[in-house]
Chain A
Amino acid sequence: MSVIAPKFRLGYFLKGIIDNALWIIVLVTLIVVPLIQVLLIYINLPVVDGELLTPFLAFTLIFHPELAVPLVEAIIRSDLFHIAAFPGFGFAALMAAAVIFVERKMLAKLQLRVGPFYCGKIEGIFQLIADGIKLVSKEIIIPDKADKPIFWVAPLLFVGAAAAFVALIPVAPGGEEFDNMPWVVADLDVGLIAVFAVIGFFPIITVLSAWSSNSKYPFIGGIRALHQMVSFEIPLILSLLGVVILTGTLNLNEIVQSQTSFPWILFLPVGAIVFFIAMLAELERIPFDLPEAESEIVAGWLTEFSGMMYGLVQLGSYVKLYAFAALFVTIFLAGYNGPSIYPDFPQDIIDDGIIIPGMTGPLLTVKPFTDGTAVLDQEMINGLIWFVLKTAAVIFFILLIRGVFPRVRIDMLLHIGWYKLIGLAFVNIFIALGLLYSGILAPAGAF
């Protein structure tokens, strides 16, 4: 008799295993296999070696992994992958999670604290997972007199709006294989206007969720958020017009490609500064975090959220932070452009696969690339590295300000927005016009 499991008997243990195996077999036969068959009707499977990849062939992928390469390529090029995983929401959520951890650890270092320490062996690296499990397992409490439909849907809308923002950011250049299409979910001709349209949704969602909770602190926070976001949208939009004047386009990818020689921050530093400050206010970050000023109004418009609803709002706000930093990089810091730091893939591996002398086997004949072209080419990976590095640098400055500045009063905030920043944004526009009409810089075909 052991102490840990006093009623342990081998018979019960075996019975449990057999039961589980039986249930797994039943569920797989009744649900999983028919589901796969139905899905296979709708998914266009690729052609491998002149032969359609049937489900029978799909099972041989286990023994011949080289057959999976075209399948992986097809998945990577699908719209669903773009939206859900790489340039879209999954990548942004991963960046957001990294930002949350780095922010806590960095703030702690700035304030001579330790920060997250106990979860995980190294520097509390698993703190985020622990927090996530806590948030998921917590009870969701809805206030009694809340307006329930709006209250339920507001966090989802917040995350959705942030994801829509992320979808507009070009993350990496596409190689020749993609007809030079950038890695972006939605490559719109009116990309910048679409960004303004998406930004306009955040105050609505904030104030609706604040009103729907039918509580005083959220309402005060929501009204503050509305004041702040609506008034800082104007300098935010005006500060980007200088770049639009100089590039003559609203497409974010074309704006990135116009900066192959130099980033726009060299010519329009005023606009970049105005955009950065307005961005801090739109993100409700210190020194402009009046909507959730924890020492005055509990947690502002987030007060009544609990459990995973709060988690969703936090996820949305950090995804929004990543998206704003990425927009700053895209417009002022040359986006994914940068000198080549990632080496070309060795040509003999592209041609022959990985060869180890004296050994054979299915894994060794895997060619990571089909017909001589790469799944993820060198240009794309290089661009992605530069984009991530620059975005991380901008996020670092956003976080640094939180450790340095105190919170401002609301009248000071509105004064900064309406008097100083709008004036500076107009100065920036006149700088751009001066550069244009003095003939120093002009978009192609302007004269």
Chain B
Amino acid sequence: MADALFLGIAVLTIGGAIAALELRSLIYGSIALMGMLGGIAGFFVMLDSPFVAMFQIAVYVGSIAVLILFTVMLVKRELIFKKIEDPRRKFAGIGLMLITMVAVGAVILDSGIHTITTGEDPVDFRDIGVDFLTYYWPALILMAFILAGSVMGALVLARREDFVENE
């Protein structure tokens, strides 16, 4: 049962990723992207971490995919993209992908993933929170600053110069 589920989710994820790249229609491409992100959430559920899975759905499917969809709908594709059909680009892309996957796979295999024991209790999300506030607090503060900086930057960029209050 678990193997069949794993295979199904893997097919959904990889198929969604390929479809997101290859489909001509941008809307269907972003729907495929949503399927891919949902598949990753499914992997997290299978790995006994529903907290991460739910955030994966809420943030990636619920927000980022909506943003992509919104952008795609508001932009006329013909205005910004020129169609460049060159088979060499495709092969170069596939080659690059294979090199990346082999490299990442080598790193993962070398990282001692064999020694991980399965069947342990799932990690409670409260423990994750405690870890964030104690051992990993510099990383948390750094991320908060980066996010605050990006929000401020977005506000500065989006400010309208010609807007008059209470005209």
Q: Given A190-B125, A194-B54, are A200 and B69 also a contact pair (CB < 8 Å)?
A: no
Interface secondary structure of B, over-half rule:
helix
B153 to chain A minimum Cβ distance, whole angstroms, is 18
A276 CB → nearest B CB, Å: 21
A-B contact count (CB 8 A): 60
Residue count of chain B within 8 Å CB distance of chain A:
18
Known: A199-B62, A204-B66. A190 touches B31 (CB 8 A): no
Given A190-B125, A196-B54: A226 and B66 within 8 A (CB)?
yes
B17 at interface by CB-CB < 8 Å: no
Q: Which of B28-85 contact A (CB under 8 A)?
A: 31, 34, 50-51, 54-55, 57-58, 61-63, 65-66, 69-70, 73
Looking at the assembled complex, report how far the CB atom of B165 sits from the nearest CB atom of chain A, in whole angstroms: 13
Flag if A196 contacts B58 (CB, 8 Å): yes
Main secondary structure of the interface of A (DSSP, over half): helix
Judging by beta carbons under 8 Å apart, are B65 and A211 in contact? no
B51, B57, B63, B69: which contacts A207 (Cβ < 8 A)?
B69
Residue of B nearest to A227 (CB): B70
Bound-complex Cα distance A397 to B1 (A): 47
The number of chain A residues touching the other chain, given as a range, is 20 to 34
* B15 vs chain A, min Cβ distance (A): 16
- Give CA–CA (A189, B34) in the complex, Å: 25
- Which residues of the partner chain A approach B62 to less than 8 Å between Cβ atoms? 196-197, 199-201, 203-204, 233
In the complex, what residues of A have CB within 8 A of residue B14's CB? none
Query: Among the listed A189, A199, A201, A208, which residue makes an inter-chain contact with B69, where contact means beta carbons less than 8 Å apart?
Result: A208
Contacts of A341 in B (CB 8 A): none
Pick the residue among B61, B70, B73 that contacts A200 (CB under 8 A).
B61
A188 within 8 A of B: yes
Residues of chain A with a CB closer than 8 A to B125's CB:
189-190, 250
A193 and B58: CB pair below 8 A?
yes
Chain A proximity mask over B86-97: 1 for CB below 8 Å, otherwise 0: 000000000000
Known contacts being A200-B63, A211-B27, is A193 close to B54, with CB within 8 Å? yes
Residue from the list A189, A199, A200, A233 in contact with B50, Cβ < 8 A:
A189
Chain A residues with CB under 8 Å of B55's CB are 193, 197
Instruction: Report if A230 contacts B (CB, 8 A).
Output: yes
Q: List 15 A-B contacts (CB under 8 A).
A: A150-B27, A190-B54, A194-B54, A196-B54, A197-B54, A197-B62, A200-B58, A200-B61, A203-B62, A203-B66, A204-B61, A208-B27, A211-B27, A223-B73, A226-B70
Interface residues of B (CB under 8 A from A): 27, 31, 34, 50-51, 54-55, 57-58, 61-63, 65-66, 69-70, 73, 125
10 closest Cβ pairs, A-B complex = A200-B62, A197-B57, A193-B54, A197-B58, A196-B58, A197-B54, A190-B51, A190-B50, A190-B54, A194-B54
